[in-house]
Structure 1
Amino acid sequence: MATIVKWQGSGMAFDATASTGHTVRMDAAPEIGGENTGPRPMEMVLMGLGGCTGIDVVMMLQKLKQDIKDVQIEIESERSEDIPKVYTKIHVHFKVFGTDLNEKKVQRAVDLSAEKYCSVSKMLEKTAQMSHDFEIIEV
């Protein structure tokens, strides 16, 4: 797997292109020379966490024949005051929308993602206190 990150020639904007060919723009805040044209790199880390754990949970719930309609992941975080400003606390909250969802199956999917399958979560737990919970919303 390879990624190419290229400065866009002015300000602090960088385009990152993944080995799959998909590109995303990252930028910095205006107060440090950015133009706010994309998420900050540390925001991308949390987005990656949400995508990774979301894929796990959706796949497991589908395999468990749960009638899910939507899954939303809300992530709250805290960072160190000292440089490097790594994440020190991350809380992942799942909102699982569906019909007649089995609470134990949802709990198992969320737990397995956090504790075993989500590679991003496993990397982040090296510096951050990780926690997670969920709520089921009947639709």
Structure 2
Amino acid sequence: MKISLRRINDSYLFETKNERGDIVLLDNKSEEDPRGSSPMDLILRGIAGCSSIDVVMILRKQHHELEDIQVHVEGFREDGAVPNVFKKIHLDFILKGDVTPAKAKRAVELSMDKYCSVAKMLEKAAGISYSVQLNGEKVC
């Protein structure tokens, strides 16, 4: 896996590109009008994406197709700390579809505890918690 980065303005805006040519813009969130995600934003996006892919894959293997999946992620940092890393991360999985609550909970559990590489890496530095909603009802 390789990523290249190049500066595209005279401030903090960067373009990153992977080997396939996919582009993601990075910017400093303290800029007046940031045009890209901050690196810390990308970490939260990464755990949301990684775990969502797992959940969809796990449920598909069980012949369950979700109508919708959303994940809301919140990262908590210690004010004034340098470096200002995440101390806690919480993910709220919002699933919709013909899936039992037990299967929905288990799919998220498997992702967070076993399969999601991003979660496994981040758990070394931050406490990770999650909740699951299915069809508007809280599962855990």
In structure 1, C-alpha distance between the alignment counterparts of 2:89 and 2:6, rounded to whole Å = 29
1:53 counterpart residue number: 51
Question: Cα distance, 1:35 vs. partner?
Answer: 3.8
In structure 2, C-alpha distance between the alignment counterparts of 1:133 and 1:114, rounded to whole Å = 11
Instruction: Determine if contact 1:3/1:17 at 8 Å carries over to the other structure.
Output: yes
Question: Cα distance, 1:11 vs. partner?
Answer: 1.0
Deviations 1:20-44 (A, max 9, x none): 2101111113x4x564101111001
CA 1:27 to 1:36, structure 2 compared with 1: closer, same or farther past 3 Å? same
1:92 counterpart residue number: 91
The alignment partner of 1:38 has SS state of: coil
Residue 123 of structure 1 aligns with an amino acid whose one-letter code is M
* TM-score normalised to structure 1 length: 0.91
The alignment partner of 1:9 has SS state of: coil
In structure 2, C-alpha distance between the alignment counterparts of 1:55 and 1:98, rounded to whole Å = 16
2:20 counterpart residue number: 20
Q: What is the number of equivalent residue pairs in this alignment?
A: 135
1:121 maps to 2:119: yes
2:9 counterpart residue number: 9
Q: Which runs of 5+ in 1 are unaligned?
A: none
RMSD, aligned CA: 1.4
Instruction: Determine if contact 2:56/2:65 at 8 Å carries over to the other structure.
Output: no
Identity %: 36
Question: Cα distance, 1:14 vs. partner?
Answer: 0.6
Instruction: Determine if contact 1:14/1:25 at 8 Å carries over to the other structure.
Output: yes
Residue 68 of structure 1 aligns with an amino acid whose one-letter code is L
* TM-score normalised to structure 2 length: 0.90
The alignment partner of 2:135 has SS state of: strand
Residue 95 of structure 1 aligns with an amino acid whose one-letter code is I
Runs of 4+ more than 6 Å apart: none
The alignment partner of 1:134 has SS state of: strand
